Structure 1
């Protein structure tokens, strides 16, 4: 290639570099002048024309850019070009792609590959053109040409992936997959495989043909060592055994995975599905009322008798309890979530006595974590109204809300989040919502000392309370059309930003609230005194959030805020 010898498209690189620099810095007029000067010295250079076309396209002149590209294309097709390199073609391809003329870029590469049939870079460029056009057959043919030219494993994998795409989007998939398998077997017999991706692709081809035993044999052999982590290999074996309906062996495999990775929730669901001898579905959050729709493992679809199901659930519960004892840290939540799922299975069978207990135990253990409410959201939607009330009361009694500690603050936030997730806040009266919003702001203010020693770029403890309080105030605005609530929502968020400017979440909420406030056509008289004189910064927190503190006092004079902003 000419560019390897200090030439770019047959032109000295020192003459081309300033054009690229000008384009990259959006100085298109300067770039166009440089292109004109370059063409004066190299009038028959396709690369110089490609650079001019690129500049014109960036300047918003697509018709002129296409005309220049076609001129460069004609020069490429002539017999007077000595520097036919990938740099010229890739530059033209960029312009053609932006002009939505991929066919022209492909034709250029096809001609180049005809003229230089063993040029690997040109063939790779042609392969990429076919990828952009979703031309799977031509992708396969080009990849096989590259594989035959240099014998590299990656090009064989490209060809096999192209065959997989053909099998997926067209008829005759069985023959295509058999052809892909034969290609890989031939390569393995002569060169073996050297990359984990190659092994995964080979197993995938066998799996698509329902050759589960053959795939398991490959994983158990020497090629199985290509898997970087033993857990990944076990997960793949478990999936293949499940598809082969060997549920007993699959459950044993998933047990091994969970013993080394107890927080692997997906593997637990597969493990439970194998015990119940049915397919599994991962939990999907629901936005409806308190009903569970298509969540987790549905034991009603199993072919096992009720006695066998209960026996296997008891076995799973013993295994989960063992995992809980082996790891007592707060960072591993999977076994405790697994306990809830097992009790959900009992609930489906009519035995719901321990389901609530499992949820309560989870909140006692992890309720102070910000993720605890979202962890069990799918299960919360299964509860009735009375059960929700009981759960919230139990959580509230489990800690002292008046204490200033990170754990108590976390549990307080979780209580609010559960109500927010289940929509119970929206059913409350306006007076109750005012009281709740006020309590959120006061709780945040009371716990400000907890954030004193944090880095300025770290999130404050309890900053979610301000966002939730602001959200309630916005809901009150939509309910009552009282602009005072909307103004208070903005002030609450601005207070948080005054304390700690690096709160990105609060910044987003604040920006959205200000936009909403602006769209509501708020009169400037609400924030200005007669005569255009602005109010002082001592804006009182309300009448609705009636409190004895003022924002100026909170933000500037409160000793609790020292060192936070």
Structure 2
């Protein structure tokens, strides 16, 4: 609002300023009152009316606000104040398409205004009207012939190509036209900025004209690519790869590594190009240079020699050695072994190379992540030898009563890396129970000893020995899983809470505590722990599942609703935020970022988690409010829920969950596998399908209403009863089919690693009978709808089915209730054991009872008039019999 106020240059500025101030300060009621006072004196002051509409919108009176706004919009204002205020209002209403109409009208009235044309282009950008953006860009360029406007139009053509459903159309029309437009500027020598060259390169690349793109990058235009280091070289590298010109790729990577031997991506290009050269049996020419980029290393021997030279260069340094060359040796050895090449021996023994790396970089926290991915190079027989060799490089003080402790943080980091590598090699998992308990004692002692190094640390800083604490917690979890002794997990919780008291910012402590509390059924501490993570932006999509998965299933409906709202706010704001990013990218010429922003928006819109929280939020609203605060019909209408429309794009669902958010040092065979990922996604999708169909069935139920009893079935279509039956039956058939698939999946009893994805509520819903009971309830509604259509006289068999349905439903509910009985905490053999499954059973029972009550309410609406009709018939028969006797 302050920005808008800055443009006010007329005498009305003084009059409008108080309203702007009230709105900026959040005092919307006073803004409305001030606007009303102003409008009494100055009815023609349209901006005041719009500002009043903004105040009404922010106080929840959307309909009044929209009516006021439309009153001004129909006048097609051209003053900056009204246009900008309307723009703000429409954005807050999530109606950006109305902004385009505003500026279309303004441009017609003031056709030579650069500002209005520019606003119109950006308004089109917000709604993704790429063709109109192209036209608006060219119209703007004709008025004010500036390069950025011209290239806005070119980029809009590129976006039409990217968004086109027909790829052929993109390659034959949009991109060639964009190419010709840029070539025109090149021939006229009007290319001025780096962004324009970037866009030209993007067009050529998408057209597959790699040779032409290469000429642009290596030519005079390429000299403008200065915003990123090695920008030209990186683009050349990508083109060489696409053209499969491996000698040039190899030579360029070699040249770049000479300048920057620590740039890891160049090693990837260097090694990959070598193996392609070997596969193609390429040989350098007899005369002249090997290729355009210089000498080519076309043999393993040359590449090994080059890498060893880089390592020697680092060894001669007195300080700050680079890790890249050392890791490059291990990476090359790994790739050679994958190819089954005997030349791997040229590099030496993996064990020796890794020991050398540890000796050089073992005091850095990154050492574990560097070495962990190459542990497979060691044979199982070498594991103990490897750890023993590393132990020699860990400087510890003389042992005291029990353990030898490090004297400084570098020695502590080396020993910590040693412990992490031991766990990654499976040495912790192979220990028996007593040995694991002894290991925990050692890790805890080392953790407490290491706290002295962080006495002066800030509250936001982590303690140097935190990883000892986390590793001890992991060993406790191993014991819990192995022995099913819950005492282990209680000890683990105590240890993690102690760790959190010393390192209040340690996200791994919070994440693990959150997971364990949820597994035990204790949800109360979880909300604060999740809030303490201070998740930012896209993290709501990647780790939000940790909270929303358990909140509802553990009976915390208010917390679950709040968590869903929190996530949904992020997803809804994503649309608005991404539009702003795109507009800024156009303004500053960052054209290559625009497709990335749109890809991000699509990724979030198609998120599995987004679909889940949206569905569960509607369930929670229905369970908490329908027929309590308002009727079921009103609740369904308020959330715009329809039985016919399935708003989930099943074929495009994206699993954006970060399933590796927990620090884990387990061996590969104990970690989350790709198969686990696919199984988890399948399970999540099936559960979402079941919930979505149930929701639509509830919506279908609420829309049925009550129609008069029709004796003649031929008339049913006139009353729509036949269509309603068909809709309900179709949805129920889909639910039953999904239920069968879900049952087959549940029978596989898939187990994920404890630090992997949590299982869905599917197995519990099936085992407690919730899904089956809900399906039976909806089937009863279908039968009642058929009874309403057919009538009582011709439905003897149907009436029997309905009676059986009611009896079956009663039995199923009783069985569900029986599964809810028991204690959430019980003592077994003097050990405390939690039973969170009981909580889930109770939640499913409550949900199912709610659905059954809605079905019963609908059944009552149908049966009451049928009963009345039957009583009238019986009364008539009795009267007729009496008359006959008389």
Which bin holds the TM-score, normalised by the shorter protein? 0.7 to 0.9
Who is 2:742 aligned against? none
Distance verdict in 2 for CA 1:493–1:75, change over 3 Å: same
Distance verdict in 2 for CA 1:106–1:521, change over 3 Å: closer
Structure 1 CA distance for aligned equivalents of residues 425 and 105 of structure 2: 63
Who is 1:193 aligned against? 191
2:304 paired with 1:317: yes
- 1:421 deviates by 5.5
Structure 1 CA distance for aligned equivalents of residues 385 and 24 of structure 2: 62
- 1:378 deviates by 3.7
Q: Which range is displaced more, 334-343 or 226-235?
A: 226-235
- 1:387 deviates by 5.3
Who is 1:346 aligned against? 336
Who is 1:149 aligned against? 143
- 1:320 deviates by 1.8
Alignment of 1:70-469 (within 5 A): 70-76=70-76, 81=77, 83-85=78-80, 87-170=81-164, 171-228=169-226, 231-277=230-276, 302-304=279-281, 312-327=299-314, 328=317, 330=320, 332-350=322-340, 351=342, 354-380=349-375, 385-386=380-381, 388=383, 390-401=385-396, 402=404, 403-418=406-421, 425=428, 428-452=431-455, 454=457, 457-469=460-472
**Contact in 1 for aligned 2:134/2:154 (Cα 8 Å):** yes
Please state whether the residue corresponding to 2:188 is helix, strand or coil.
helix
**Contact in 1 for aligned 2:54/2:89 (Cα 8 Å):** yes
**C-alpha deviations, 1:444-463, integer Å up to 9, x for none?**
22233433565665433222
Structure 2 CA distance for aligned equivalents of residues 13 and 470 of structure 1: 64
Who is 1:296 aligned against? none
2:38 paired with 1:38: yes
Who is 1:525 aligned against? none
Q: Which range is displaced more, 450-459 or 359-368?
A: 450-459
Q: Which range is displaced more, 373-382 or 30-39?
A: 373-382
**Contact in 2 for aligned 1:343/1:358 (Cα 8 Å):** no
Q: What 5-or-longer segments of structure 1 have no aligned partner?
A: 279-298, 523-565
Please state whether the residue corresponding to 2:299 is helix, strand or coil.
helix
Structure 2 CA distance for aligned equivalents of residues 101 and 426 of structure 1: 57
**Contact in 1 for aligned 2:350/2:377 (Cα 8 Å):** no
Distance verdict in 2 for CA 1:6–1:268, change over 3 Å: closer
Structure 1 CA distance for aligned equivalents of residues 419 and 20 of structure 2: 55
> Which of 507, 510, 517 is the aligned partner of 1:508?
510
Distance verdict in 2 for CA 1:448–1:41, change over 3 Å: same
Alignment of 1:24-35 (within 5 A): 24-35=24-35
Q: What 5-or-longer segments of structure 2 have no aligned partner?
A: 283-295, 397-403, 525-886
Structure 1 vs Structure 2 CA RMSD: 3.6
**Contact in 2 for aligned 1:235/1:254 (Cα 8 Å):** no
Structure 1 CA distance for aligned equivalents of residues 85 and 42 of structure 2: 17
- 1:156 deviates by 2.6
- 1:259 deviates by 2.0
**Contact in 2 for aligned 1:467/1:509 (Cα 8 Å):** no
- 1:251 deviates by 1.6
Q: Which range is displaced more, 463-472 or 114-123?
A: 463-472
- 1:422 deviates by 6.7
Structure 1 CA distance for aligned equivalents of residues 484 and 519 of structure 2: 12
- 1:342 deviates by 0.6
- 1:514 deviates by 8.8
**Contact in 2 for aligned 1:444/1:465 (Cα 8 Å):** yes
Q: Which range is displaced more, 150-159 or 187-196?
A: 187-196
Structure 1 CA distance for aligned equivalents of residues 109 and 302 of structure 2: 69
Q: Which range is displaced more, 331-340 or 393-402?
A: 393-402
**C-alpha deviations, 1:284-341, integer Å up to 9, x for none?**
xxxxxxxxxxxxxxx9xx5459xxx996233222222222233455562222221111
Structure 1 CA distance for aligned equivalents of residues 250 and 133 of structure 2: 40
Structure 1 CA distance for aligned equivalents of residues 509 and 18 of structure 2: 41
Structure 1 CA distance for aligned equivalents of residues 14 and 488 of structure 2: 63
**Contact in 2 for aligned 1:235/1:267 (Cα 8 Å):** no
- 1:430 deviates by 4.0
Distance verdict in 2 for CA 1:133–1:404, change over 3 Å: same
Distance verdict in 2 for CA 1:65–1:5, change over 3 Å: closer
- 1:65 deviates by 2.3
Structure 2 CA distance for aligned equivalents of residues 416 and 400 of structure 1: 14
Structure 2 CA distance for aligned equivalents of residues 423 and 9 of structure 1: 73
Structure 1 CA distance for aligned equivalents of residues 192 and 465 of structure 2: 50
Structure 2 CA distance for aligned equivalents of residues 497 and 272 of structure 1: 44
Who is 1:489 aligned against? 492
Who is 1:53 aligned against? 53
**Contact in 2 for aligned 1:368/1:411 (Cα 8 Å):** yes
- 1:344 deviates by 0.9
Q: Which range is displaced more, 344-353 or 155-164?
A: 344-353
Q: Which range is displaced more, 133-142 or 56-65?
A: 56-65
Who is 1:12 aligned against? 12
State the TM-score, normalizing by the size of structure 2. Answer: 0.50
Structure 1 CA distance for aligned equivalents of residues 523 and 195 of structure 2: 58
Structure 2 CA distance for aligned equivalents of residues 242 and 11 of structure 1: 64
Structure 1 CA distance for aligned equivalents of residues 374 and 337 of structure 2: 11
- 1:347 deviates by 0.8
**Contact in 1 for aligned 2:141/2:150 (Cα 8 Å):** yes
Please state whether the residue corresponding to 1:277 is helix, strand or coil.
helix
Q: Kindly name which structure, 1 or 2, has the bigger radius of gyration based on alpha carbons.
A: 2
- 1:237 deviates by 1.9
- 1:232 deviates by 2.0
Structure 1 CA distance for aligned equivalents of residues 14 and 378 of structure 2: 71
- 1:423 deviates by 6.9
Please state whether the residue corresponding to 1:8 is helix, strand or coil.
coil
**Contact in 2 for aligned 1:206/1:214 (Cα 8 Å):** yes
Structure 2 CA distance for aligned equivalents of residues 462 and 377 of structure 1: 20
Structure 2 CA distance for aligned equivalents of residues 394 and 449 of structure 1: 28
